Amino acid sequence: MMRILSIIIAGLLISCGSRKKVDREVFDAVNESMEIKKVNEVDIINLAIKWGNEISAEAQQELMGKLNKSINEKGVAGAVEFCNVEALPSLNEVSKRHKVVVRRVSHDFRNPADQPNEEEEMLLEAYEYNEENGVKNSANVQEIGNGEILLYTKAIKIPGEMCLNCHGDPGVDIGEETLEKLDALYPEDKAKGHKVGELRGMWSIAIPKKEVVKKL
Ligand code: HEC
């Protein structure tokens, strides 16, 4: 104990003796560590964007693969039931695989579970604003909560005619049998009347920051 004390006292004496120099060193060290931290924050955000891009592509591929298979086997009307039963569980599987929460959210929702929450709301509005004003939408990462979660978002557009089978105009794009199924399963459905190229909603992937840091 005495020994530790004397070392501390010696340390204090030395630092008192050359106060200016130590202050300068402390100053430099703090600055340096802030610079390092700044770089790390950028690295974290960049990795979260990359990871979000990969996970959203994987989720999209999984949904599309299953959707195409279902249309081939049961036709469009039959595939509506597949989407109704399988879309959310498929996204949950992807979520579990990566320890994140993957959602598709929309103001023109078909499933009421796909409405944006408070944090998603502002981002979705920004995507809609950009879309209306001809500004290109790009993927975004935002810190939410107390900074422990990185929310990745990315616009979802209607990429082709295929989607209109269930999201286009009733009677024109959506067949009668499909419409009956949609009306029965989704009485509040807002996801009809779309055109190719329109904004349909956005991906929302909540990524724990620590999972990103682990990968750095
Ligand atoms: C066979 C019919 C069908 C086709 C084809 C289809 N969808 Fe859907 N879509 C649905 C159904 C049904 C839901 C609701 C799923 C649920 O209940 O979880 C849905 C939900 C969605 C959602 C989630 C938001 C919401 O409204 O609930 C998005 C985004 C979406 N579809 C985009 C697309 C895109 C893009 C395409 C084309 C690549 C497409 N869909 C093709 C039937 C279809």
CA 214 to centroid of ligand 1, rounded, Å: 34
* Residue 133 confidence (pLDDT) above 70: yes
Q: Which helix (H) or strand (E) holds 19?
A: helix 19-98
Q: Are 167 and 104 in contact (CB under 8 A)?
A: no
Residue 87 Cα: closest atom of ligand 1: 18
Closest CA to 155 of 115, 123, 133, 132: 123
Domain boundary assignment for the chain: 34-215
Q: Whose CA is nearest to atom 38 of ligand 1?
A: 163
The per-residue pLDDT for 17 is 45
Query: In sequence order, what E strands does 20-164 have?
Result: 101-105, 140-144, 149-157
Q: Which pLDDT score is estimated for 132? A: 96
Question: Which pLDDT score, from 0 to 100, does residue 169 have?
Answer: 98
pLDDT computed for residue 19 by the predictor: 52
Q: Are 106 and 201 in contact (CB under 8 A)?
A: yes
* Residue 33 predicted with pLDDT over 60: yes
pTM: 0.84
Question: How many angstroms separate the CA atoms of 62 and 112, rounded?
Answer: 22
pLDDT number for residue 214: 85
Mean of all residue pLDDT scores within the chain: 89
Confidence of residue 91 (pLDDT cuts 50, 70, 90): very high
Among left, alpha and beta (phi > 0; psi -120 to 50; other), residue 75 is left
pLDDT digits (tens, 9 = 90+) for 204-213: 999 999 999 8
Q: Pocket residues for ligand 1 (CB within 6 Å)?
A: 76, 79-80, 83-84, 87-88, 104, 106, 109-111, 114, 156, 158-159, 162-163, 165-167, 191, 200-201
Pick 7 or 42 by higher pLDDT: 42
pLDDT of residue 15: 46
pLDDT higher than 50, residue 187: yes
Is 193 a residue whose pLDDT tops 70? Answer: yes
What per-residue confidence (pLDDT) applies to 11? 42
Rounded to an integer, the average pLDDT of 42-63 is 97
